[in-house]
Amino acid sequence: MRIVFAGGGTGGHINPALSIADYVKSKAPNMEALFIGTKRGLETKLVPAAGYDIRYIDICGFDRRNMLKNISVMKKLISANAECVRLLRDFKPDAVVCTGGYVSGPVAMAAKKCGIPALIHEQNVYPGLTVKGAQKYVDYVAVSFSETQKHLKQGKKCVVTGNPVRGEILKADAKQNRAKLGLTDEDIFVLAFGGSLGAAKINEAMTGMIKMLTDSRIKILFGTGERNYSEVCAAAGKLPENVTVTPYINNMAEVMSAADLVIARSGAITVSELACLAKPAVLIPSPNVVRNHQEQNAREFADAGAAVMLKEDVLSPDSLYDTVMRLVNDKQVLASMSGQMNKFAKRDALEEFWKLLLKMTKQGQGRES
């Protein structure tokens, strides 16, 4: 089985593709994979680190505020589409899997032109521009919420799979990982991150909260994002021994499973992983997303008692500190949140993708490639 994966930009687009690739390889050990991405995203690091080959195309998104700029965007799209056709014809995949980011558009278009079955995955309730544009070129639109079907013109192509959660998340053992990290039963471990690229508002609040922290039982691991790391370190000053600040968290499954509480954005992949690990959370939705879908995610979890939502307009070092201390000092509340979070878990998404790929590769027999 030969599969092309297309996804780029942030970890939220790349990690699902890697999860699917790893799962398919576990089912079909002879599977050969080729990733297509851009040189500007995290795929340049994450994909080679996972042991997969990757090729790069030059593509960017449309600028709604500067229409003249979109002339060059269209030129890049035409060039990228031609390059993707060449890559697909050289690699001759049995199927194509697109997991988001601007790179998914030209890859889906090329798959259609080459007669190769393809799917594209939408993580959130409301589909983004890439998925809306690519739906006519693919065989299936894998969605995480049944409601998404209502927002697509070709909703009949939708299959509810859920969000693919990495195998290491599903297999993570909290007790073993706490021991590995040197955490005792008395320690309270708080994990905080703002996504693969970081989040300025979360970084500001966390930096201030760290300065207020006096309880040495509370161990904090804070991922700032690479572009903000130096600035955060300068603002934080000398860190107490119980606080670790890092630009990027490479062992997320290990530390997330070990955490008593997680502070994070409420992107679809993040909340899906938190649900699978049944982790109580303080969710801080990004306001700079299509149709405010992160707030909708956070609100659904908060309304169920699985998380606390702190919107950016009320986020501050004081509000974050008060929220964290209230939660970590009440084990019954944390236990209740964990139980509610577990109800959101969908742990079979990868198997659903595998079933779709089996259908697609069977459909693809005899197609021109």
Q: pTM of the prediction?
A: 0.77
pLDDT confidence of residue 41: 84
Give the SS3 label for residue 343.
coil
**In a shared domain, residues 307 and 212:** yes
Chain Cα centroid distance, residue 137: 24
Longest dimension (CA), the chain: 67
β-bridge pairing 243-246 and 261-264: unpaired
Q: How confident is the model at residue 60 (pLDDT cuts 50, 70, 90)?
A: low
67 CB-near residues (< 8 Å, 6+ apart) = none
Q: Which amino acid belongs to residue 80?
A: A
Q: Is residue 84 part of a domain?
A: yes
CATH, residue 69? 3.40.50.2000
**In a shared domain, residues 181 and 299:** yes
**In a shared domain, residues 110 and 194:** no
**In a shared domain, residues 41 and 13:** yes
Give the SS3 label for residue 54.
strand
Q: Which amino acid belongs to residue 65?
A: R
Q: Which domain covers residue 235, as residue numbers?
A: 168-342
Residue with tokens 């603002």: 235
Dump pLDDT digits (tens) for 307-356. Answer: 999 999 999 999 999 999 999 999 999 999 999 999 999 899 999 999 99
User: Could you give the strand order of the β-sheet that contains 140-143, starting from the edge strand earlier in sequence?
Assistant: 53-56, 32-37, 2-6, 95-98, 118-122, 140-143, 158-160
Dump pLDDT digits (tens) for 209-227. Answer: 999 998 889 999 999 988 8
Quote the tokens at residue 197.
């690229």
**Within a 10 A sphere around the Cβ of 326, how many other Cβ atoms?**
11
Looking at residues 249-264, what average pLDDT do you find? 96
Average pLDDT, the chain: 90
pLDDT confidence of residue 102: 86
pLDDT confidence of residue 368: 42
**In a shared domain, residues 13 and 108:** yes
**In a shared domain, residues 146 and 210:** no
Residue with tokens 């697909």: 88
Contact 210, 220 (CB under 8 A): yes
